[in-house]
Amino acid sequence: MKGCAMRVPRRRTSAAPLRELALGLLAAVSLGAVAAAPAAAESSWRLEQPAPPAGSPYKVPLGRPGDLSCWSATRCLLAIEGNAVVARGLYSYDGVEWRQLSTVCGGPADTTRIAWASATEFWVVTTPSLPRSGGGLGLCRFRDGQVIASYSTAPESPDPFRAMTAAACNGPNDCWFAGVGAQDPSGQRVGAYHLRWNGETLTSTYAPQGRGVSDLIFADGRYWETTYVGIQREDRTSRVTLAEEEAFPYLIHTIDGAGFHNELFGGGARVGVPLDGTELLAADAAGGAPWFVGGGASSGPSAPEEGIVPRPPLAARKDGNWYSSVQIDESQFGDQDRFTDVAALPGGGSAWVAVQAFRDRVSTTARARVALLQADGTTSVQRLPAGGAGRGSAARIEFTSADEGWMITNAGWLFHFTDGHAHARDTSPAFSTVIGYRPNEAIAQSIPDLPPVDDSQLFAPPAVEPEPEPGPPVTRTQRIPALMTKISRPRVDKRLRLHLSFTLRRKARVQLQAYHKRKLAARTKLRVLRPGRHTLVLQLSRKKWPDRLRFRTIESRAR
The pLDDT value recorded for residue 277 is 97
- Predicted pLDDT of residue 376: 86
Q: So what's the pLDDT on residue 53?
A: 86
Q: In the sheet that 175-183 helps form, which strands lie side by side, from edge to edge?
A: 164-169, 175-183, 190-197, 202-207
- Check whether 400 has a pLDDT greater than 90: yes
* Spacing of C-alpha 260 from chain mean position: 23
Identify the pLDDT of residue 559. 38
For 101-116, letters b (16+ CB in 10 Å) and e give bbbbbbbebbbbbbbb
Q: How confident is the model at residue 471 (pLDDT cuts 50, 70, 90)?
A: low
pLDDT for residue 475 is more than 90:
no
Torsion angle, alpha carbons of 439, 441, 443, 447, to 10: 70
pLDDT band at 419 (very low <50, low <70, confident <90, very high): very high
Query: In this model, does residue 37 exceed pLDDT 90?
Result: no
Q: Give the Å distances, CA to CA, from 506 to 26, 130, 447, 484, 523.
A: 63, 34, 21, 8, 22
Mean of pLDDT values over 257-265: 92
Would you say residue 234 has pLDDT above 80?
A: yes
Residue 23 above 60 pLDDT? Answer: no
Reported as a pLDDT band with limits 50, 70 and 90, residue 51 is very high
- Indicate the pTM of the whole model: 0.74
Q: Give residue 444's pLDDT.
A: 56
- Residue 549's nearest CA partner among 510, 516, 503, 509 is 516
Round to the nearest angstrom and report the end-to-end CA distance of the chain.
59
Residue by residue, DSSP assigns 337-374 as EEEEEEEEPTTSSEEEEEEEEGGGTT-SSSPEEEEEEE
Average pLDDT, stretch 41-70? Answer: 93
Mean pLDDT of 410-420: 97
Task: Please state the rounded mean pLDDT for residues 234-245.
Answer: 95
Question: Residue 479's pLDDT is what?
Answer: 66
Judged by DSSP in three states, 549 sits in strand
Query: What is the reported pLDDT for 17?
Result: 34
- Nearest alpha carbon to residue 350 among 320, 333, 328, 335: 328
For residue 181, pLDDT over 80 is answered with yes
Give the distance from CA 280 to its chain's centroid.
20
Query: Taking all residues of the chain, what is their mean pLDDT, rounded to a whole number?
Result: 87
pLDDT tens by residue, 202-224? 999 999 999 999 999 999 999 99
Confidence of residue 259 (pLDDT cuts 50, 70, 90): very high
Q: Above 60 in pLDDT, residue 468?
A: no
Mean pLDDT score, 4-14: 40
| pLDDT on residue 392 | 98
Lowest-confidence range among 22-36, 124-138, 376-390, 430-444? 22-36
Cα–Cα dist 196/175, whole Å: 6
Which percentage of the chain shows pLDDT scores above 90? Answer: 71
Question: Which pLDDT value is given to residue 56?
Answer: 83
State residue 489's pLDDT score: 87
Of 306 and 458, the structure prediction assigns the larger pLDDT to 306
- State how far the Cα of 246 lies from the Cα of 262, in Å rounded to an integer: 10
Do residues 177 and 194 touch, judged by C-beta distance below 8 A?
yes
Q: Note the pLDDT tens digit of each residue in 500-536.
A: 999 988 999 999 999 888 888 899 998 899 999 999 9
The arithmetic mean of pLDDT across residues 485-514, rounded, is 90
pLDDT at 57: 87
Q: What is the mean pLDDT of the segment spanning 114-140?
A: 97
Q: Give the pLDDT confidence score for residue 437 in this predicted structure.
A: 97
